[in-house]
Amino acid sequence: MGCKHAGSAASSGFAALHLEVGARLGRYEQRYTTYRRLLVEALSRAERPLTVAELVAMHPEVPQSSTYRNVTALMESGVVRRVAGTDGHGRFELSEDLSRHHHHFACIACGRVMDLAPSERLEHALSEAARVVSEEQDVEISEHRFDFLGRCSKCKAVAAAS
Ligand SMILES: [Zn+2]
Ligand SMILES: [Zn+2]
């Protein structure tokens, strides 16, 4: 397996992340292997959730079944979460407490899923929405998850041209 990236200068920015992920895996008696570190770094670097096929493409020397198993182990340890899209492909990202709060946009035409950069305006609108819910229902809102569906800029242009 390609171990050459581990411990390189490029990895040093992930020190705190690796420490936390290692601790989580340890709680589930899971080892933090070199390949799991590479997966975590890839997910951390990506600005959108990645499919297993995309993760496999980054390390074609690792069998797809092994990538699936490792992603599942990371998910079971609370390191990774699955993001719902508009197609059948599972997409994965680091848990929000290991990255940062954000939302997603999923294209109903081509299936691409992207992270929406955190914006003060959007968060303000969503906290207003939370206030409406807590006023209308007997609940207390502490956080939110909100994904948007529609057509991405590419598919929007195709639809407009046809
Ligand atoms: Zn699209
Ligand atoms: Zn939000």
pLDDT at 10 over 80: no
Counting ligands in written order, the one closest to the CA of 150 is 1
What pLDDT is stored for residue 88 in this prediction? 87
Specify the DSSP element, H or E, that contains 12: none
Residue 99 — φ and ψ, nearest 5°? -125, -105
Ligand 2 centroid vs 117 CA: distance in angstroms?
Answer: 10
What pLDDT is stored for residue 118 in this prediction? 82
> How far, in Å, CA of 115 to CA of 50, rounded?
11
Specify the DSSP element, H or E, that contains 33: none
pTM for the structure as a whole: 0.84
CATH of 101-162, one of 3.30.1490.190, 3.40.190.10, 3.30.420.80, 3.10.450.630: 3.30.1490.190
Q: Residue ranges of the domains in the chain?
A: 1-99, 101-162
- 79 vs 88, higher pLDDT: 79
Q: What length does the chain have?
A: 162
Counting ligands in written order, the one closest to the CA of 143 is 2
Can you name the CATH fold of 1-99? Arc Repressor Mutant, subunit A (1.10.10)
**Residue-by-residue DSSP string for 120-154:** HHHHHHHHHHHHHHHHHSS--------EEEE--HH
pLDDT at 14 over 70: yes
Give the tokens for residue 15.
Answer: 């020190």
Block residue for tokens 């699955």: 82
What pLDDT is stored for residue 12 in this prediction? 63
Helices (H), the chain: 15-27, 34-45, 52-58, 64-76, 120-136, 153-161
Ligand 2 centroid vs 114 CA: distance in angstroms?
Answer: 15
List, in order, residues 6 or more apart from 120 with CB less than 8 Å away.
Answer: none
Ligand 1 centroid vs 3 CA: distance in angstroms?
Answer: 35
Ligand 2 centroid vs 130 CA: distance in angstroms?
Answer: 10
Query: What are 93-126's pLDDT values in tens digits?
Result: 999 999 999 999 999 999 999 999 889 999 999 9
Please, which residues have CB less than 5 A from ligand 2, an ion? 126
Counting ligands in written order, the one closest to the CA of 127 is 2
Query: What are 51-66's pLDDT values in tens digits?
Result: 999 999 999 999 999 9
Query: What are 131-146's pLDDT values in tens digits?
Result: 999 999 999 999 999 9
**1-99 matches 101-162 in fold:** no
